[in-house]
Amino acid sequence: MYRASVLIPTHEHAATLPFAVKTVQQQGIDEIEILIVGDGANDQLRATIKELQTGDRRIKFFDMPKGPRHGEIHRDAVLRQAQGRIVCYQCDDDLWLPGHLQAMEAALESADFVGAMQVDVEPGDRLRGYLFDLQRPEFSQPWLEWKPHGFGDWANYGFGLAFAAHRLETYFRLPEGWTTTPSVFSSDQYMWHKFIRQPWCRVRFLRWPLTLHFAAPARRDWSASRRTDELARWSDIIAGPDGWRHICHSILADLGDRLLNQGLADIHQRREFEAKCARDLAALENELAAVRADLQKEQSIRWRGERKWSLLQFELAAVRTELETERSKRLRVEAERDTLLADT
């Protein structure tokens, strides 16, 4: 059994594949097998792989017809023939950093599945590292639910193919391995979820750079020579004595800028919110003052009305008293008249 099986899916990147393979070969571990999975390879890609095999007996080529989506079913078929204790992945246009394989191997001594920090090289040679940690539920829970975490652009939503590794025996324990992924999901994330959802799967996450990812969609209109020039330049940086320092410094500087920008944006947003709250409070206070004025006006009117009503009641009582007095007088007069009439 090998110490590791390195699976490299490929479709048409004949120009970039040698650079990706070379960073695997330079890991300093001989007891590995390099499994190149051809998903509808053309003659140029076949010739490139044959040349690579000439210089390294560890390279095995599986020439498969084009499968659905990214040919995920071919990955499953190849892994069922793998002989490594652990499985690492490499993209045909990415570059492993020195120590990638050793770090994954060490982490898998106490874990079943390992992920690592996503690091992208954007056109223009800007390095972007993203924070993500499978061992923190703040990241893993929304990730497993395919929901955004809302932390900002300093954090990403998972990690790509070349940033993961697992034990081979762990793969065979899964209810389902690599299969054709539904079109609405990322194939890599869909596969990683299958590991993480198992209650028995021990997970580790390495929060430092192990791989440089050169996203193909951002380079879709690039010529093959332009892509190879970029990978050659970065291969030299990686191999240089200050390569690790350059990469870490670039990642930290960019990450610091993004965190600062988000912090400033949050401060600006908070200040705008506080200003809006102050404006709303002032408007409410003005409205309350107007209501109070209306109430005072209503109270004044009611007070005047009640006073007038009291006066009217008093006057009415006086009139009633006067009427009673007059009635009493009239009754006495009538009585006296009746008495006089009776005497006569």
* Residue 164 near residue 89, CB atoms below 8 Å: yes
Q: Is the pLDDT of residue 201 over 90?
A: yes
Select the more confidently predicted residue: 121 or 262.
121
Least confident segment among 88-97, 108-117, 165-174, 313-322:
313-322
**DSSP structure string for 290-340:** HHHHHHHHHHHHHHHHHHHHHHHHHHHHHHHHHHHHHHHHHHHHHHHHHHH
- The residue type at 256: G
- Residue 8: in which H helix or E strand, if any? strand 2-10
Return the SS3 of 206. Answer: strand
Short-list 51, 62, 212, CA closest to 125: 212
* Residue 171 pLDDT class (50, 70, 90 cuts): very high
Q: How far apart are CA 87 and CA 104, in angstroms?
A: 9
Average pLDDT for residues 157-181, to the nearest whole number?
A: 97
What is the largest distance, in Å, between two alpha-carbon atoms of the chain? 164
Quick one: CA dihedral 216, 221, 224, 225, positive or negative? negative
Which residues pair with residue 140 across a beta bridge?
Answer: none
* Residue 313: per-residue pLDDT: 75
Any idea what DSSP says for residue 247? H
* Residue 65 near residue 72, CB atoms below 8 Å: no
**DSSP structure string for 99-162:** THHHHHHHHTTS-SEEEEEEEEEETTTEEEEEB--TTSHHHHHHHHTT------TTB-SS--GG
Determine phi and psi for 91, rounding to 5 degrees: -85, 155
* Residue 256: per-residue pLDDT: 84
Mean pLDDT of the chain: 90
Domain spans of the chain, in order of start:
2-240, 271-344
- The residue type at 273: F
* Residue 344: per-residue pLDDT: 65
* Residue 143 near residue 234, CB atoms below 8 Å: no
Select the more confidently predicted residue: 338 or 213.
213
Class level of CATH domain 2-240: alpha beta
Residue 14 tokens read as 């004949």
**With pLDDT > 70 as the criterion, what percentage of the chain qualifies?**
94
Q: Is the pLDDT of residue 32 over 90?
A: yes
- Residue 34: in which H helix or E strand, if any? strand 32-39
- Taking the model in full, what pTM does it have? 0.80
* Residue 267: per-residue pLDDT: 76
* Residue 13: per-residue pLDDT: 93
Letter string b/e over residues 198-228, b meaning 16 or more CB atoms within 10 A of that residue's CB:
beebebbbbeebbbbbbeeeebeeeeeeebb
Least confident segment among 57-66, 79-88, 133-142, 291-300:
291-300
* Residue 11: per-residue pLDDT: 94
* Residue 140: per-residue pLDDT: 94
Q: How far apart are CA 113 and CA 87, in angstroms?
A: 10
